[in-house]
Amino acid sequence: MILETIKKANSVAQESETILVKAAIEGNADSFTELASRYYPAMVAIAHSITGDRDLAEDAAQSCFAKAAVKLPQLKSHEKFAGWLATICRNAAKDIYKRENGRCKTSDLSKIEIKSEENDTREAVKDALTKLPDSDREVIYLRFYDGLSYEQISAVLGISEQAINGRLRRAKKKMAQILRREGFKQV
Amino acid sequence: MSEKNNDKWFEEIISKTINSGKPLFDAEKFKQKFPDEFRELQSRANKPAKNFQGTFILKNPVIKFAAAAIIILAVSLFMIRSGKDEKVDIPKVTNVTQSPAEMLTLRSLKTAYYKGGIEAVEAQCDKSIEQLKQKTNKITTNELLADINGT
């Protein structure tokens, strides 16, 4: 019963999204803004997993929506909007990362923090994240960035919720192994 | 620390590490930053809408097959109808002239015998000799052989 209700709710949400996509293709700015508001956090999370920097991630996400605004009529399957958007975002983030890599970022300077045990742990976690494969790091960012639901992650990555759960579990396991090698016994 | 608590602690530390506040989409800022793209998006609203009904009909695979079947049927009917009116020229069966060599084969002579007895066999022999007689004396051996063989 609950499962059926969830399935119905999902199909209604998908239907409303398809309507929004159609309207945005036809030039409805409000529909486009609604879509952008829905997917902006997920796009920032994807871009952050590539750039490793929040400001650059926001730039990449905005650039992604700018490209989407122009290329939207080329989208054939309206229900695949989220996956299509994620692809644009990954490319935008990679471009920005290549361009900005090597430059001294203002956000780096602001990250000079007082040494503490928690900061050390965070630095180690950050380091472990960089050592993960791209797809594992992406799913970790999507899940923990803004607590996106499995349903939203599923729409963006185009894989089932079970597959996301499995990928997430494997990613955490790999991170734990990396951290243990670094000397962290808590994980 | 139990495994469950450990996992919770781990998830919390991941969340604290990567989470730096909920990102919010600022539509006004977006319009200012990407005016050309936003203008292009809005410009599509002024364009005449596509005939979505027609697009939908052609996208439906069942309707596609039905349309194809109707077209094939109509073309077939048209071809059948137009075929009736046409007078087809049936090629006439012409008598193939046999060469003297062919006329004198056992099979040919046998057929002649069945058709008209010994008189027919004699007539066929005479006919073949007649054909050979028509040639001039200047004919070469090769030409004569070719003539006999009918090549």
Regarding whether B75 and B23 lie in a shared domain, the answer is yes
CB contact under 8 A, A37 and B40: no
CA of B55 vs chain A CAs: smallest distance (Å): 12
pLDDT confidence of residue A39 = 93
pLDDT confidence of residue B109 = 86
Across residues A26-45, what is the average pLDDT? 93
Q: Is residue B127 part of a domain?
A: yes
Query: What b-and-e string marks burial along B76-112, b requiring 16 or more CB atoms within 10 Å of the CB?
Result: eeeeeeeeeeeeeeeeeeeeeebbbbebbeeebeeeb
CB contact under 8 A, B43 and A27: yes
A82 pLDDT band, cuts 50/70/90, is very high
Whether residue B4 lies within 8 A of chain A, CB to CB, comes out as no
Residue A101 has pLDDT above 90, yes or no: no
Whether the CB-CB separation of A29 and B41 falls below 8 Å is answered with yes
pLDDT confidence of residue B55 = 55
Q: Provide the CA B126 distance to its chain's centre, in angstroms.
A: 55
Regarding whether B115 and B73 lie in a shared domain, the answer is no
Portion of chain A with pLDDT greater than 70, in percent: 81
Q: Provide the CA A1 distance to its chain's centre, in angstroms.
A: 31
Q: Is residue B93 part of a domain?
A: no
pLDDT confidence of residue B91 = 56
pLDDT confidence of residue A109 = 45
pTM for the whole structure: 0.62
Number of domains within chain B: 2
Regarding whether B68 and B13 lie in a shared domain, the answer is yes
pLDDT digits (tens, 9 = 90+) for B48-60: 655 555 555 566 7
Q: Is residue B91 part of a domain?
A: no
Report CA-CA distances (Å) from B65 to B56, B57, B59, B62, B76: 14, 11, 11, 5, 16
What interface predicted TM-score (ipTM) does this complex get? 0.75
**DSSP conformational letter for A146:** S
Across residues A73-78, what is the average pLDDT? 90
Q: Is residue B95 part of a domain?
A: no
B33: nearest CB among A62, A67, A72: A62
> From the candidates A126, A146, A169, which should be mutated to test the interface with B, based on the most B CB atoms within 10 A?
A146
Whether the CB-CB separation of A44 and B22 falls below 8 Å is answered with no
Q: Is residue B94 part of a domain?
A: no
Contact map slice: A 107-166 vs B, CB within 8 A: 121-122, 125-126, 129, 140-141, 144-147
Regarding whether B108 and B76 lie in a shared domain, the answer is no
Residue A32 has pLDDT above 60, yes or no: yes
Regarding whether B64 and B7 lie in a shared domain, the answer is yes
Q: Is residue B13 part of a domain?
A: yes
pLDDT confidence of residue B16 = 85
pLDDT confidence of residue A171 = 93
pLDDT digits (tens, 9 = 90+) for B23-52: 899 999 999 999 999 999 988 887 765 555
pLDDT digits (tens, 9 = 90+) for A120-166: 788 888 889 999 999 999 999 999 887 788 888 998 999 999 999 99
> Is B45 strand, coil or helix?
helix
pLDDT confidence of residue A91 = 96
pLDDT digits (tens, 9 = 90+) for B81-133: 776 665 555 555 455 556 777 777 888 888 888 888 888 888 888 888 887 77
CA of A86 vs chain B CAs: smallest distance (Å): 16
Structural domain span for residue B38: 3-86
Residue A5 has pLDDT above 70, yes or no: no
Highest average pLDDT, of A10-14, A68-72, B5-9, comes from A68-72
pLDDT confidence of residue B58 = 63
Q: Is residue B63 part of a domain?
A: yes
